[in-house]
Each structure stands twice: as C-alpha cells, then as structure tokens.
Structure 1
C-alpha cells in the first residue's frame, strides 16, 4: 500500500517511513511512503516546518487531494496514475508551544479553542486546514497524527530505559539530550556539527536502520505512535 506523507521535515519523513513500515510489516501490511510535503529532493529547509505543512493542506484542498493524489473522480480508473492509497498528516505536538501557532491558525483558517492539550490543539489545526473531521478522516483515506512532543521522541522510545518510561513522560530537553548521545556514538557522527545532528538526514536514516528490531519498545512506550499505527492499519484494511 502506498502512503503519502505530509510532515514538517525530512527527518520526520525518514523516521515515520522506517518505523511505520516495520510496524506495519510485522502486522502483515506492506507499505511504501511518498514524500508529499516536504519533498526529500529539496535540500533547502525553506519548505520545512509546521507552517509549510499546514499551508500545503490549504493549497491542496480535500477535493484536490481526492482527485490528484488518491486517484478518485471520473478519470481515476487507471491505477498507473494513482499516486497514493492513503495520506498521513503528521505534525509535532510541540508546535502548540510556539507563540505564533494559534495566531497562524486563526489568520489562515479559523481560531482553535483554548483549554486543549498540545496534542489535541495540533490535531484540531490539522482538521481545520485539511477540511476533515477526526471522525471522517479515515473514511476519506486520511490519517491524522500529532506526535508526542516530536518525532525525535519516537527515536528515544527505542533507546534503553530501565524504567521503561512512556515517551510522554520524557521532557523535550531530555529527549534531545538522549538522542544526541545516541547519535554521537554512530559512525560518521563526528562529520556532522553537534547542533545539526538531530536533524541530519544520514544520521537519522542510519539510526532508524540500526534500531528497527526494537520497534515493539516504541509501540509500548508511545501512545501517539501506537495510535498512528492503529489508524494506519485500519485505513489499510478498509
């Protein structure tokens, strides 16, 4: 099954494509991923970030996604022209901490009500920009997800932890510290500036490759990844 992924950046795509492919494969679902936003061939980070992901959804409205990406409509019968079977929309829940996030949502679509958790705030933003409700998304072959903190927390979910803490219990600061320490031990890490290691594509790709066998640890420690897996599996079976 082919999944189109809308996310914030290249390392997010690499993380999801590797971890979700492995988790789905263990469930008997074969998956390939296509980078809808941002394109991995774009080396510049200009097209990355939560604002670009949300604006991509606004520019490519639901009807356009149904026809151009999901291959529906009068002339969609030729499967050779079908780009994806489903679309996954993923943002980091730490977007909600950004002072400009709520203002951006209000300016471009509509205001998000207060009092929500960071995860629910980000999910509501995706709902507003994608023209989908959480209830209807899967019926339209869409999966909506807000990662616990960020996709880096999913990487940390694979690292040894004597207490087996849920990734939601680990602060963003500790998440970055733990991941940086793990990346520093990898071959070629010294070739990448310390400040860039967390977002370096080659290091992220190699980290994922080395840790795929520990996917069960991530599933048990991350409610957001587990929800993404279950929702994606449900869409694939529909």
Structure 2
C-alpha cells in the first residue's frame, strides 16, 4: 500500500489527540472538593506485546476502501481532463519534431511558445489536482482512522495485550517479531464486523494512458 506521509502523520496525530485529551476531560469533570486519589505504585507486569500496521489497517477496512474509491471517483473527470491536455502537449511536440527544415524561425518560435504555455498549464493542473486529491483522501480516511483506533485498543485490551506497537512506518525500530504478535488483520476483521459496511466491488481498471508522475491517481491506494 501506498504509505502516504501526510496520512500517516494525521493518523498518528488523531490517535495521540484521542488518548491525550481523555484524562484532561476527566479532571475537568471532577468536583473541586474531591479528595486526591491515593497514588498508585508502579508495578512490573508480564509483557504481552502486539504489532499493528495501523495505516495499512485503515486502508484495508471495508469502510476505508469505500472512502478511497469515493474520492477516486470524484477526481476521475479531472484526471481525464489532465490526460487529454497531456496528450495534446505530446502531439504538439511530435508535430514540431516532424516539421520540415524549411519551417521559418518565427513559426518554430510560435509553436514552442504554445507548447510551453500548455505544458505549464498541464503541470499546474496536475499539481493542484494531486494536492486536492490527497487532502480529500486524508480527510476521508482520517474519519475511519479515529473509529478504527477505538476498535484497535478494545481488541488489544480484551486479548490481554499490555503494549501495542505501530509498525506502519518502514523506519519502525521493530526488527523481528513472531507472526502471532501481528494483529492488523484481526483488528480489520473486528472493525468490519461492527461497522456494518460491506466490502466494495473492485474498481474497473483505468484505460492505458501515458504515465505522468504528477497526475492524480484514480485508483484506491495500493501496495508498493
């Protein structure tokens, strides 16, 4: 899956916000005159560690897939428009390359200016579309991530795990772990069961087009 850095940052930030604000809310709700609770002495307990690829889990849920496909469908017209403009630029370049040597300098300069103008417009449109696509995708999947984090923590607690490590990032410090400690799919299955969202049908493959790195992706995020 494509591991978008902005998405990963948003997911982690959302998770941190959820866990960091709860104690504050409880403290504000407590009566001012209530006696302070006795401090709890820290104690060592047997560790039971689980690993989860949280970002990938968000994409893998039925709701995450539906959300990603919805964003992709929204940008299909823009993608088609960009591909059309890209084909036009290509055609103009080929025409200029095939132009006879007798072509005047003035005509050649005019064609070059036209190509340059259209190519700059193409790059602007592609960059704007990509930015808008990423923003919408991050927002849509961020909502799923907030709900999935609740399911994830409930699953870990109910199964007696004392520590949960997110290994979404390739730079994770976890070098090796037993396969049985990986709970990503189990969390996805638990979320799908409670969300009530059915798995979406696979998207039809897009027709072959000239590759452009700047053009917005039309399909849902896929693995690397």
Q: TM-score, normalised by structure 2?
A: 0.25
Larger radius of gyration: 2
Relative to its length, the structure with more strand (as a share) is 1
